[in-house]
Structure 1
Amino acid sequence: MANILVLNSGSSSLKFALFGVKAACTEKPVVSQAQALSPQLRGQFSGLGTERCAVFIEGMAQAHTPPPAEAHDHQAAMISLLTWLEQQSLLDNLVAVGHRVVHGGTHFKQSTDLDERTVKLLEALTSLAPLHQPYSLAPIKVLQARLPAMRQIACFDTAFHTHQPLEARQFALPYAMYDRGFQRYGFHGLSYDFISRCLPSVIPDFEPESKVLVAHLGNGASLCAIQAGQSVASTMGFTALEGLPMGTRSGAIDAGLVLHLIAQEGMTADDVSTLLYKESGLLGLSGISSDMRTLLRSDKSRAEQAVAHYCYRITREIGSLSAALGGVDHLVFTAGIGEHAAPVRERVVAQCSWLGMRLDPSANQANQTCISAPDSNVGVWVIPTDEEAVIAADCLALL
């Protein structure tokens, strides 16, 4: 059986998954991937560069010792993974490696093969996604050196949003700047793509023209308005900093405040970048943690206020995206917080009662798929996302 390796690289983690190709497939729907792709294993290096570095593997038919957990960065983790895959004879039938790449800029509007030219184009986008792009590129470069003949494919978080209407993508800046790439790109597109493709198989009697809001709530967080499988609007913009407050990122902030910090407070651009990307969000608001689980367990008032602000901002953006859609039929929660934090979902739905949303409390506490009450005008759902499955399906389509 031919295999496809999928890599999803974060700032301190490297997720990997191996899919077996069971049959040829000329289309992209994830819902039909069960016939074409067979998940073989999944795993993750976490805590890269820290003393807490760990590795786990799940899904293998028999127990195997995982790769060593001494990886100090993404390159070392990738080398360790390749060595381990070779020891398990899992490289023998590898036909492609698919990568999650956060920013595709204006050049890449769909999944694409990687070569020296495309890698250089992606490197040039690093300043737009400093927490993600370098880590996406690190495994690519290791593979180019270790397995130069291996086919590598990049799948982009920005690609799903490229067909938004012009007015949704523009900033109110001189138009020539839009042509130079100063525009709203949106992110978390692989997650939204997966949810969009799954909706017909998850929601009974789902209508293709339904107006759907998806809340991808994790350490990074955003919302997306989707209709007919297309992104209509999203909360993230030029970078993955805009929109909702996140674990350590500020989310939307007045550009004038940034100017003030530089001009009046004497902060450098690097200082402001560190503040907005690494010291803000839930961590900055609470002064306790960037982890929603920790904040929900805490009895500190600042933890409660951070959660309240987070849910308030989600609710405001739901109102904005509902206007962009002209209504809303379904709200989907996904990603770590969206899938597991019942108190966050409860607050958000309660604050959206003006839309006719009603929650089934017991279903919400049990993290069931449908958590809306029978009398709710809006379907409310919890659907686990699977970015790796989308990457594998797109690689198969290209192959």
Structure 2
Amino acid sequence: MNETLLVLNTGSSSLKFQIFEEPDLTVLMSGKVTGIGDTPEMRAKLPNGRETRTSLPADTDHDRALSAVMNLIRDHDHAWRTAAVVHRVVHGGQDFAEPVVVTPEVMRRLEALIPLAPLHQPHNLAGITASARLASGAPDIACFDTAFHAGHDKLARSFALPQDMRDKGIRRYGFHGLSYEWISQVLARDYPDLHAGRVVIGHLGNGASLCALKAGVSVDTTMSMTALDGIPMGTRSGSMDPGAILYMLHDLDLGVETVQDILYERSGLKGLSGLTNDVEALLQSEDPQATFALEYFALKAAQYAAMMAVSMGGIDAVVFTGGIGEHAAPVREAILARLRFLGDFKVVVIPTNEERMMATHAKKLLRSAA
């Protein structure tokens, strides 16, 4: 019987999974459910190498998506024994800087963080709840997107707020840490000279941020207390004047839920273009608003990249990852064109692999607990 790790990466409208065989973390099976809440579809690469593509019912939610994944795994189970189910959890707050085995107390503390990551945390935790029922007997392990940034110094993690507010946990945390940690490991292996230097990593996708990596360690990042801050994203606004939010609430009388929906779901590339948050579609569009949205994104990404360079005292390389960073060359070039004034630096594109990073963490945690 082969011992395996089932890794689940639950997003706001997707569920990615990979099954890794111990001890070498060979991928036995992988796939993803996309379009949850719209037109759900499951794609998978089976143990025999065959690829499948299945439409799911329109009412498929995250719980049903996970059920479909678990059923698919059972149909192709090659005498596997699941040693653990590993989950990406976006927000670990101040309490969780390392992966942990999920207990009822851990769940309670993670649920308290839902207001800080309303697009992601509920789905992350729903995946844990569902897997506990569908894969009973295997421990659940949570890996946190905030953990890689936990070592930021006080200057990098603080807001200019009164001390009593900072004492309540209102501070900069940073996200996409599993992706940045993976990139750091790849740099150490394949580009040791860059790993030892000053690197700006752009994790650019529907969610987007930048990280200042100095000698392999995160020293600053563009997202802060929530995954709404920093550069504009697919549907999220990125940084904006807090006074504008107060204006929407007090003067336009929009209400908290409406403003939250505007900032998280109706802004970013979608809001700027008035069309879509699909970068490929925007690149192909002749609508001037599509061009405007992409130019705005590139400008802000470059401005924040320069900010990351300041945090490191210079820049030796820019690394692109994520769906946009890996595949949208015109967007990369538009960002780089605005950074040339910084002088010579190397440019590298590295695919991210959050799932393998999570499996690596889980393997280490299980070994230490044995």
Query: Could you tell me the TM-score, scaled by structure 1's length?
Result: 0.88
Residue in 1 that maps onto 2:245: 258
CA distance in 2, matches of 1:141, 1:308: 41
Counterpart selection for 2:85 from 88, 97, 121: 97
Residue in 1 that maps onto 2:4: 3
Is 1:99–1:136's contact at 8 Å kept on the other side of the alignment? yes
Residue in 2 that maps onto 1:86: 74
Structure 1 pair 81/68, CA: closer, same or farther in 2 (3 Å)? farther
Structure 1 pair 308/393, CA: closer, same or farther in 2 (3 Å)? same
Deviation at 1:90, TM superposition (A): 4.9
Q: Secondary structure at the match of 2:252?
A: coil
CA distance in 2, matches of 1:91, 1:130: 38
Counterpart selection for 2:293 from 306, 316, 320: 306
Residue in 1 that maps onto 2:63: 75
Q: Which runs of 5+ in 2 are unaligned?
A: none
Q: How does 1:135-284 map to 2 (within 5 A)?
A: 135-203=123-191, 205-206=192-193, 208-284=195-271
| 1:392 matches 2:359 | yes
Residue in 1 that maps onto 2:306: 319
CA distance in 1, matches of 2:53, 2:267: 35
Q: Secondary structure at the match of 1:206?
A: helix
Q: Secondary structure at the match of 2:19?
A: strand
Superposed CA deviations along residues 54-101 of structure 1, whole A, max 9, x for unmatched, are 111125225376677236101111122222222222574110111000
Q: Secondary structure at the match of 1:40?
A: strand
Deviation at 1:251, TM superposition (A): 0.2
Percent identity of paired positions between Structure 1 and Structure 2: 41
Q: Report the AA paired with residue 206 of structure 1.
A: D
Deviation at 1:146, TM superposition (A): 3.2
Residue in 1 that maps onto 2:113: 125
Structure 1 pair 263/217, CA: closer, same or farther in 2 (3 Å)? same
Q: Report the AA paired with residue 196 of structure 1.
A: S
Structure 1 pair 91/98, CA: closer, same or farther in 2 (3 Å)? farther
Is 2:174–2:224's contact at 8 Å kept on the other side of the alignment? yes
CA distance in 2, matches of 1:150, 1:234: 34
Q: Secondary structure at the match of 2:98?
A: coil
Q: Secondary structure at the match of 2:73?
A: helix
CA distance in 2, matches of 1:72, 1:312: 38
Q: Secondary structure at the match of 1:253?
A: coil
Structure 1 pair 218/207, CA: closer, same or farther in 2 (3 Å)? closer
CA distance in 2, matches of 1:305, 1:66: 35
Deviation at 1:319, TM superposition (A): 1.2
Structure 1 pair 208/247, CA: closer, same or farther in 2 (3 Å)? closer
CA distance in 2, matches of 1:91, 1:101: 29
Structure 1 pair 278/206, CA: closer, same or farther in 2 (3 Å)? same
Q: Report the AA paired with residue 388 of structure 1.
A: E
Superposed CA deviations along residues 369-394 of structure 1, whole A, max 9, x for unmatched, are xxxxxxxx211000000000100000
CA distance in 2, matches of 1:54, 1:207: 39
Q: How does 1:24-63 map to 2 (within 5 A)?
A: 36-50=24-38, 52-58=39-45, 60-63=47-50
Q: Which runs of 5+ in 1 are unaligned?
A: 23-35, 357-376
CA distance in 2, matches of 1:277, 1:62: 38
The Cα RMSD (Å) is 1.5
